[in-house]
Amino acid sequence: MTNQATKRRVIFHIDMNCFYASVEMAYNPKLKGRPVAIAGNPEERRGIVVTSSYEARAKGVKTTMNLWEAKKLCPELIVLRPNFERYRTASREIFKMLSEITPFVQPVSIDEGYMDVTESKGMGTPLDIAANLQKRIARELDLPCSIGIAPNKFLAKMASDMKKPMGITVLRKREMPSMLWPLPIEEMYGVGGKTATKLKGIGIETIGDLARGNVYELKQILGINGERLKNRANGVDQRPVDPDAVYEFKSIGNSKTLPQDTTDETEIRALMHYLAENVARRLKRKQAVGRSIQVMIRYHDRKTITRSKKLRNYIESKEDILIIANELLQKHWNLEPIRLLGITVQDVEEKQNIAQQLDLFSYEKVAGKEKLYKTINELSEKYGKNPFISWNTTNTDNQSPSTSFQKDFLDDFKR
């Protein structure tokens, strides 16, 4: 890592193009060249476009667009439900290829990651390495990707967005005034819609304007993030490519949109059970516990509230999560129709980092629960779900995108 820090770094950002749609096209070549969208259940409101092919995008189809709207713009649109296991398998193969080039690989989502190739000697120039990697992914997996090459992570990320699909772009600091600064501020990585609006309110319309902006004024409207963004706009980013970053997590959550806005307590209760079970399953997978529970409620008018409760002890079981989550829901739900619910466990720590303090009064209770949870988990593994659940919570993991999938795939790189 010393050489990483002291030498002039060469960082790649690998960005798979239209990843879910591209995987489906590789699986079924008849889809190539046709407008394809990956979406949830078309009969329900979860029918939202997750990603689409470039042919569909040319017709105006965009991510997060409702399916009915997408089909109106593109009547010949081919709609496929997500196959997450297929995408996970493809992602694993991609990151294996990256790891054969350098040990400094940092996955950041299922379809993108960073590489530090500063020390990758004997493999040619950075352009050679990038071109060979791009060709290999296309040849062996039939998947397109774009690669950004730069001296740091921020510039590499910006570079990979500049030429799609199958682009390779080099962005050096001396090229920033011509390649980066003229871009609209909303195209800068790390600047969302609300931040862009605030920046435009003080006359910052381009990335160049931000690079020249007044630090004090930026801090006034954006806090410490104002200075950070100004530094990035000037090409300053010291963050290393960190393979261990996949181990860092402070919260684990799951949210889901209801088929229709509802005040039906039976339906809401069933969804709360489903969410708590998903979060508990992910905690178990990560061998983690948490001591704060947050509930998110989005109403029919899209107004969203989050409410949380800090606990004295760490928890991990579905039952414990559900008790607190239901308490928060009952306390803060205003009885208006609910559109979306979410449960998040915060202040998460890995079990191996915690020595639980059990006193004489709690030991027997905790030990007894452990046996019960172990039995339930064994039966769940055997039958595919908790056999003690009588309510109707259909598992739609293979049908509709969940907020957990993009993060959960990172577990594959910890083994």
Q: What is the CATH number of the domain that holds 196?
A: 1.10.150.20
Q: Is 116 annotated for ligand binding? A: no
User: Is 44 within a domain?
Assistant: yes
User: Is 112 an active-site residue?
Assistant: yes
Residue 243 lies in a domain: no
Q: Both 286 and 346 in a single domain?
A: yes
222 and 260 together in one domain? no
- Domain identity same for 207 and 157: no
pTM: 0.68
Reported as a pLDDT band with limits 50, 70 and 90, residue 243 is confident
Residue 144 lies in a domain: yes
| 119: helix, strand or coil | coil
CA atoms of 169 and 162, how far apart (whole Å): 7
Q: Tokens at residue 80, please?
A: 């496929």
What is the count of structural domains for the chain? 3
CB of 290 closer than 8 Å to CB of 314: yes
Question: Do 220 and 328 have their domain in common?
Answer: no
Give the CA distances from residue 357 to residues 260, 312, 360, in Å, rounded to whole numbers and listed in that order.
Answer: 45, 12, 10
Q: Which residue stretches of 74-206 are H helix?
A: 84-99, 126-141, 153-160, 176-179, 193-201
Asked if 267 and 310 sit in the same domain, the reply is yes
- pLDDT at position 380 is 53
Please check the confidence at residue 366 and state whether its pLDDT lies above 80. Answer: no
Mean residue pLDDT of the chain comes to 84
Q: What is the pLDDT of residues 140-157, one digit of tens each?
A: 999 999 999 999 999 999
- Cα(134)–Cα(148) distance, rounded to whole angstroms? 11
Q: Is 128 annotated as a binding residue?
A: no
CATH assignment at residue 131: 3.30.70.270
Of 44, 76, 93, 112, the active-site residue reads 112
pLDDT at 407: 54
Same domain, 382 and 300: yes
The pLDDT score that the predictor gives to residue 370 is: 52
Whether 360 has a pLDDT exceeding 80, the answer reads: no
Question: 397 and 263 in one domain?
Answer: yes
- Mean per-residue pLDDT for 297-303? 89
Determine the 3-state secondary structure of 81 from DSSP.
Answer: coil
* Residue 222 confidence (pLDDT) above 50: yes
- Of 77-86, 179-188, 294-303, the range with the highest mean pLDDT is 179-188
Q: Are residues 255 and 400 in the same domain?
A: yes
pLDDT computed for residue 23 by the predictor: 96
Other beta carbons within 10 Å of 141? 18
Residue 334: pLDDT band (50, 70, 90) is very high
Token representation of residue 227: 């200075």
Residue 238 placed within a domain: no
Are 67 and 105 within one domain?
A: yes
Q: Assess if residue 240 is contained within a domain.
A: no
Q: Same structural domain for residues 58 and 105?
A: yes
- Determine the structural domain holding residue 193 and report its residue range: 177-233
Same domain, 190 and 286: no
Q: Are residues 188 and 159 in the same domain?
A: no
Q: Looking at the domain assignment, is residue 172 inside a domain?
A: no
Per-residue confidence (pLDDT) for residue 336, from 0 to 100: 94
Of 124, 140, 167, the residue that ends a domain is: 167
Distance of CA 217 to the CA centre of its chain: 31
SS3 305: strand
The continuous run of DSSP H or E covering 35 comes out as none
Asked if 189 and 154 count as a contact pair (C-beta separation under 8 A), the reply is yes
- pLDDT tens track for 97-143: 999 999 999 998 889 999 999 998 788 999 999 999 999 999 999 99
The pLDDT value recorded for residue 330 is 93
Q: What is the pLDDT of residue 378?
A: 54
